Amino acid sequence: MADYFSPTVIQPPIPRADMTALERLLLTVLFDVDPVGNALYLHAACGPRDHITVPAAALRAAFAASAGVASTAAHYIGERIDLGSDEIDVELDLSGTSWEFILQDIVRRSATLRYLTAVTSFTCSKMRPDGFGGMAVLITADAIKGKSTSDILEEFLAEEDAGAGRGHPEGEG
C-alpha cells in the first residue's frame, strides 16, 4: 500500500490579531503551528487535516468570541454544528470547505497582509507516477490562484508544440 503526503507551508506568518478566535482555533488544529513573535507560522508535515476533533467548550467559546465578524469559518460551523449540545468533543469534517477560504477571509480583513502563499509538495512512500509533484497557491483578498507542477508542465508542452510548429510526436526526441 502506498501512502501519499502533501507537506504544506503557509507564508508569511499570520498576525494573531488578524484572526478571529474561531479561525485561530480551526487553523491551529488543521495545521501544525509555530509562534513567530505575535504571529503564527502554519505548516503541515503530512498535509493539512480536514477531519479534526476539538473540545466543544473551546469551539463554543471561539464561535461566541467571533460573533459579528463575517467569515467562512463561522458560516460553516454555524450551519453544521449544534453548539448547544452537551458533547465534550466535536468532530468536524472540513472537507466541505477549504482552509484557503479561511485564509482569504483573514487577508481581506488584515491591515498588514496583502497576500498569503501556500506551497505544497506531493510525495508518496512508493515510486508511483501519480505520487510526486507540487502546487503553489496565492491567496489575496480578491482571488485564490494556484498551479500544480502538472499545470506548469502542460503549459511548457503547449509552448513547445506552438513554438515554430516544431512539436515532436510522442516518443521522438
User: Would you say residue 129 lies in a domain?
Assistant: yes
**Which of 61, 44, 53, 56 lies closest to 10, judged by CA?**
44
SS3 of residue 132 by DSSP: coil
172 lies in a domain? no
Q: Mind listing the pLDDT tens digit of every residue in the chain (173 residues)?
A: 888 889 999 999 999 999 999 999 999 999 999 999 999 999 999 999 989 999 999 999 999 999 999 899 999 888 877 777 778 898 888 887 889 999 999 999 999 999 999 999 999 898 888 778 999 999 999 999 999 999 999 999 999 888 855 555 555 55
Q: What is the pLDDT of residue 168?
A: 54
- For residue 171, being part of any structural domain is answered with no
pLDDT of 109 reads: 96
30 lies in some domain? yes
Residue at 170 is within a domain: no
In the chain, where do the E strands start and end?
Answer: 4-5, 8-11, 14-15, 32-36, 39-44, 51-55, 89-93, 115-124, 133-140, 144-148
List C-alpha distances in Å: 43 to 3, 29, 47, 139: 19, 11, 8, 16
The confidence score (pLDDT) of residue 165 equals 53
Residue 157 domain-assigned?
no
How many independent structural domains does the chain possess?
A: 1
Residue 107 is predicted with a pLDDT of 98
What pLDDT is recorded for position 37? Answer: 97
What does the pLDDT read at residue 170? 59
Question: How many other C-beta atoms lie within 10 A of the C-beta of residue 161?
Answer: 11
Rounded Cα distance, 20 and 69, in Å: 8
Cα 88 to chain centroid, rounded? 27
- Cell numbers given for 118: 501556500
One-letter amino acid at 165 equals G
Give the pLDDT of residue 166: 55
pLDDT (0 to 100) of residue 172: 53
**Residue 159 is assigned to a structural domain of this protein:** no
Q: What are phi and psi of 82, to 5 degrees?
A: -85, 95
Residue 70 lies in a domain: yes
Structural domain of residue 17, as residue ranges?
4-148
Q: What is the pTM of this model?
A: 0.85
User: Could you tell me the three cell numbers for 163?
Assistant: 513554438
| pLDDT at residue number 130 | 79
pLDDT confidence of residue 163: 80
Nearest to 14 by CA among 27, 26, 2, 29: 27
Q: What is the pLDDT of residue 169?
A: 58
Range 76-81, long-range pairs (CB < 8 A, 24+ positions): 77/22
Cα–Cα distances (Å) from 55 to 19, 30, 92, 103, in that order, read: 19, 14, 11, 22
